[in-house]
Amino acid sequence: MSVSTPSPTSLTITRPDDWHVHLRDGDMLGMTVPATARTFHRAVVMPNLVPPVTNVELAAQYRQRIMSALPSDMTFDPRMALYLTQDTTAETVMAAAQDETVIGFKLYPAGATTNSAAGVRSVEGMAATLEVMQEHGVPLLVHGEVTEPEIDIFDREKVFIDRYLVPITEQFPRLKVVLEHITTKDAADFVAAAHDQVAATITPQHILMNRNDLLVGGVYVHNYCLPVLKRRTHQEALQKAATSGSPKFFLGTDSAPHVREKKETACGCAGCFSAFTAIELYAQAFAELDALDKLEGFASHFGADFYDLPRNTDTITLQKYTWNAPELVHHGDQSWVPYWAGRELMWQQQTL
């Protein structure tokens, strides 16, 4: 007779942090800020606004707008990423180093993704700036894709790693580098093999889906994000990395809202809006991989450890409970189709 252990029906973990999120600006903050603060204590807020958040002064003003949108019964500690440009000065880097609400600089190759036009045109030309960042302990957060039209979109992450990240991590061994939203086995292998100042965030969609979910049976615009979903073998490598217990891989949702009209159109914007169900999506993926015991490290410990920040001291509880992700969310007179819209979820964060 075999004795089976009942599967858990509730899971309490240290409160997680989201190390990569797009909160946008203006009225939308009234929707995005509570959605993220529901689960996460800290969040790394991406700077790809128009105009971009390029220095500590702009970041302080943006952070203030975010905090003004926080409901009075919630706590939240946004950490701002500054937008790296070809013209970022040493003074700007040093000011960032002094400001504890600033987490580091985000490198967007110009033209790689939403609002990246002001990004870096020559990565090689950034060496002097990276040197100052290393010297002052300021992390580099990277959107790792090349943009040359002749490079296939499915190869852009790997080419970026080979061409730029291998040299950067060798040349600057003390520079903290986070390869954001990794999508390939190549990226997971690179990060695992690199020195211990190199880490990666992983989104829910890249663990839960592969490019079939984007393209088989029609084009599923709400599963379209950048870097684009890859083939199943890459998805499996990311699942393995996320559930490996390695402190180099941690949670970053890349929740990136675009209004419905800008997704459901001939040239739909890139971005999956996952904030409303983020921790539940990760729980679902980890449960399916029989790795719920690895969720807390990934979601709540490793990112804080990497950034030399204290781990959160309070907890959240997830209940095993079947429900459906919202089909549509509204704010003001606009609506958004969230990632996983209408689909079943097996876990739900308990609200007090």
Task: State the residues that interact with Zn ion by CB under 5 A.
Answer: 254
271 scored as a contact of ligand NCD (CB under 6 A)? yes
Q: Which does 79 bind (CB under 5 to 8 A by kind): ligand NCD, Zn ion, none?
A: none
Three-state secondary structure string covering 120-187 = ECCCHHHHHHHHHHHHHCCCEEECCCCCCCCCCHHHHHHHHHHHHHHHHHHHCCCCCEEECCCCCHHH
Instruction: Please state the closest distance from residue 131 (CB atom) to ligand NCD, in A.
Output: 26
Residue 17 among the catalytic residues: no
Give me the DSSP letters along 96-120.
HHH-TTEEEEEE-BTTSSTT-TTSB
Instruction: Rank residues 59 and 292 by Cβ distance to ligand NCD and give the closer one.
Output: 59
For 38, 227, 235, 243, the CA distances from 287, given in Å and listed in that order, are 21, 25, 16, 10
230 scored as a contact of ligand NCD (CB under 6 A)? no
Helix (H) or strand (E) holding 347: strand 344-349
On whether the CB atoms of residues 328 and 335 are closer than 8 A, the answer is yes
113 scored as a contact of ligand NCD (CB under 6 A)? yes
Instruction: Rank residues 11 and 165 by Cβ distance to ligand NCD and give the closer one.
Output: 165
On whether the CB atoms of residues 80 and 47 are closer than 8 A, the answer is yes
Amino acid at 204: P
Q: What does the DSSP 8-state code read for residue 303?
A: H
**Strands across the sheet containing 140-142:** 18-21, 42-45, 77-83, 102-107, 140-142, 177-179, 198-202, 249-251
Give me the DSSP letters along 317-337.
EEEEEEEE--S-EEETTEEE-
114 scored as a contact of ligand NCD (CB under 6 A)? yes
Q: Which does 143 bind (CB under 5 to 8 A by kind): Zn ion, ligand NCD, none?
A: ligand NCD
Q: Quick one: which of 13, 21, 22, 325 contacts ligand NCD (CB under 6 A)?
A: 22
Instruction: Please state the closest distance from residue 175 (CB atom) to ligand NCD, in A.
Output: 21
Q: Quick one: which of 48, 246, 312, 349 contacts ligand NCD (CB under 6 A)?
A: 48
Instruction: Please state the closest distance from residue 228 (CB atom) to ligand NCD, in A.
Output: 8
Q: How far apart are the first and last CA of the chain?
A: 41
Of the residues 87, 152, 254, 314, which is catalytic?
254
Cis before 71? omega within 30: no
185 scored as a contact of ligand NCD (CB under 6 A)? no
Q: Quick one: which of 256, 275, 287, 304 contacts ligand NCD (CB under 6 A)?
A: 256
Instruction: Please state the closest distance from residue 114 (CB atom) to ligand NCD, in A.
Output: 4
Q: Which does 214 bind (CB under 5 to 8 A by kind): Zn ion, ligand NCD, none?
A: none
225 scored as a contact of ligand NCD (CB under 6 A)? yes
Instruction: Rank residues 186 and 254 by Cβ distance to Zn ion and give the closer one.
Output: 254
Q: Quick one: which of 63, 143, 222, 248 contacts ligand NCD (CB under 6 A)?
A: 143
Catalytic residues: 254
**Chain residues in the site for ligand NCD (CB under 6 A):** 22, 48, 113-114, 143, 225-226, 254, 256, 270-271
